[in-house]
Structure 1
């Protein structure tokens, strides 16, 4: 159930209401792009920006990564801690609360994730992604997933043009970084009333050069 946006909402209050209202159990499954794109990469230090209940963070920790899980919502971070303890990886996950429009954790990281960091509140996502790029260690991977298009029942106006994967890469202007994947994938989305629509998931993965 999506929380109703209130005039007095801050990012923390909005997302606390969202995550505390979640009754469906966490899936425990990683994002498909994450699972695909880190295959063969050695485990290192990772940060999950806007981690939600921590499916990606917990999965990475189970693979041997040391993970900093970041969210503006304390309710989300408490869910991450519970899921990490249940999975036996609490010692490999540190939770930090950040409003990503204001602060970021201390880098560097071998893997920086920004997986669907969208919000109906005012938020300069492009500026956040530019700042997040500075957290990537030499040889590290910056993995960004976003909504390239929206379903009609989405929080946001589906008529608003969303940046595609190449648009995200162009805006970052990291010309000396190596593109690992820049692609938009169609996906069938299902709405709360049984609606079905095709949407795009945009994946931008860039590797920072060494030296």
Structure 2
């Protein structure tokens, strides 16, 4: 997901976000998903906020059976087209959900929330969705959460978006003894924005396994 400032309900915002351009994202899977999931045994996966489908297609290409959800019909249509072009459409189920209102049924070996930020959702809504995501992880499975730690280095004086720390995410999840944190990491990377700005940005990643 992205961040900024906006008004209006969630679906209206994200539909406008995707309809504004023919393609928003690169078509490549999120690097932290690749890093953390490449060694996992394929099973069932849930991709929250799938956008244009790059993560879902990557997972399906590695043998996962994927349920990919988003609030934007436009994003889901592009994601399904991406999957069909890759010959993987039969391995992915795409579904429309405003995750603050509804959640996919079932239990999964992997639940992935990559950059699950939204300018039109309250922090408590994000925390509620992530707790529900944890409930959807079956025994032995993994909850994978990646997020931004802050704005890129070239952005100054922006305080309108709160980027939760890893401690805050873990506190919101309140997972207990049935879970084990396998990865807790901050990763700095170079970013280039559409306007041409280049700088550094730090992302965080939590890989948490349900041990029983």
**Same-fold call, TM cutoff 0.5:** yes
Q: TM-score range by the shorter chain?
A: 0.7 to 0.9
Q: Pick closer, same or farther for the CA change 1:173–1:5 going to 2, 3 Å.
A: closer
8 Å CA contact 1:49–1:114 kept in 2: the answer is: yes
Q: Which residue of 1 aligns with 2:94?
A: 95
1:202 to 194, 200, 204: 204
- Number of aligned residue pairs: 207
Q: Which residue of 1 aligns with 2:148?
A: 147
2:194 is the alignment partner of 1:192: yes
The offset of 1:171, in angstroms, is 2.4
SS in 2 for 1:48: strand
Structure 1 window deviating more from structure 2 (26-35 vs 102-111): it is 26-35
1:132-159 Cα deviation digits (max 9, x unpaired):
11000100000001111123787x9446
Answer 1 or 2: higher relative contact order, Cα 8 Å, separation at least 6: 2
Query: Where do residues 32-181 of structure 1 align in structure 2 (5 Å cutoff)?
Result: 32-123=31-122, 124-151=125-152, 157-158=158-159, 160-176=161-177, 177-181=179-183
Q: Pick closer, same or farther for the CA change 1:17–1:153 going to 2, 3 Å.
A: farther
8 Å CA contact 1:3–1:17 kept in 2: the answer is: no
Please report the RMSD computed on the Cα atoms of aligned residues, expressed in angstroms. Answer: 2.4
CA distance in structure 1 between the aligned counterparts of 2:202 and 2:180, rounded to whole angstroms: 23
Structure 1: runs of 5+ lacking an equivalent: none
TM-score of the pair, normalised by structure 1: 0.88
CA distance in structure 1 between the aligned counterparts of 2:135 and 2:27, rounded to whole angstroms: 29
TM-score of the pair, normalised by structure 2: 0.88
